[in-house]
Structure 1
Amino acid sequence: MVSRDTGRAEAAARRAHPSRAGRTTCPDWYTRDTLEFRHIAIEGPIGVGKSALATRLSARLDAEVVLDDTDNPFLADFSAGRPGAAFQAQLFSLLARHRQQVGLRQSNLFNQQTVSDYLFDKDKIYAYLNLDDNELFIYQRLYDLLLADVVPPDLVIYLQIPTDALRRRTRSRDREYRENGETPPDPEYLGELNDAYTHFFFHYVSTPLLVVETSHVDLEWGDTAINDLLTQVRGMGHGTRYYVPR
């Protein structure tokens, strides 16, 4: 995907949650016993390995895994730069994620151990990168209405990675993308997106947050890596913790 405007990453993340600017820890009232982390959401930019970790972690915890439905009939037109396609793709993704989240809440799944490979809030990061001001006006109104139906996670694990490493990782999967009929992520867009994610989570305060530096992480997440990650999770209180795997 190719963003029409460059240099919007920080503004996109800042506008995605403007009321949180300058705050880097959870409010004092937000405390939660580690054992009560029933719903864990894993986040990070395209290609960082969210789904692989969610699947592996859910298997280890004997938890339900919830994966983002990435099928979007408007993505091809968006990648081709067709006018209006970005707005269509963004609304489709927003409504699909909302529908999934509401279904999970109604089925009472969030009272079980659950691991998902996305945070509902992520949708705004993409929206503020890809939409123009008129489109954002409509998008924001719809987003605010839908957000009230979404149950927030108890813990977010943010997979952080330098942009150069992210680009190398996605380049190594170019053949996989093409074999699946998908367009590999544009390197420039990846850079903007990664910057937006970094800024967003620097100011994220809604839940406890574990930031994991993943430059040299084995994407298969073997037993040792999962054990070390769970040690970090068990040690979480409120606020943000940074973890560099050994």
Structure 2
Amino acid sequence: MADHRSPAIILHSPQLGENIGAAARVMRNFGLTDLRLVAPRDGWPNPAADTMSAGAFDAGVTVTVHQTLQDALEGITWLAAATARLRGIEKRVGDAQGAAQVAHERLGTGKSAIMFGAEKSGLPNDAVAVADFLMTYPVDTDFKSLNLAQAVCVFCAEWGKLAIGPRADEGDNKAGLGDLAPRDELYRMFEHFEEELERAGYFFPPEKTPLMKDNLRAALIRADWTRQEVQTFRGAIKALALGRGKARVLRED
């Protein structure tokens, strides 16, 4: 049975409507209903997706379309990125079973998402940088080609194994932490931090700025931020930007 707390599936820049429909079909097979598309090449709605979905959209799979990944991550507190390449960015790495296990354990603490890249190019580096977990599949090195919908299927099947059993207690928060910060709040924190670093002349030389930002975001994302921690960190950024001795005035105001 579908559960609104179950992970969202994000397709980043998908090209073929047939793959979107096939992905929706396998999602519904295993109780997943939240499908988010980032800049689909052929737009939406797409008749080719309807044909391949086997009625999944009528059976409860909802599709939202977003122009940017940041918009698609609204409300998401944990993100796994499907990739065959580790990109040189330090991340937790595991397989589909590991990703499904973490997502299942977090049912009571927030909304997870599993992100897949375009058919030809996969995920861009800036998308991988904001993921908590890199999900890889043990495919044969002599034949690595995996269809997008097939890749979605591998995760969904692992999710289904767990979803059949007892659900995580919705009120359970093992770490005793506050509400986890959704990705939109983290993005605003990243942007705030990067703006101040820009003003301080941190990003040099200019051509290395994108990589430096990706590495900063990758490091920060591992902290599993709560909303309170995000607010605290942004307050610290403001204090540093104001300069020594002025933070107290800001608090008093």
Same fold by TM-score, threshold 0.5 exceeded?
A: no
Answer 1 or 2: which has greater helix percent. Answer: 1
Relative contact order: is structure 1 or structure 2 higher (C-alpha 8 Å, sep ≥ 6)? Answer: 1
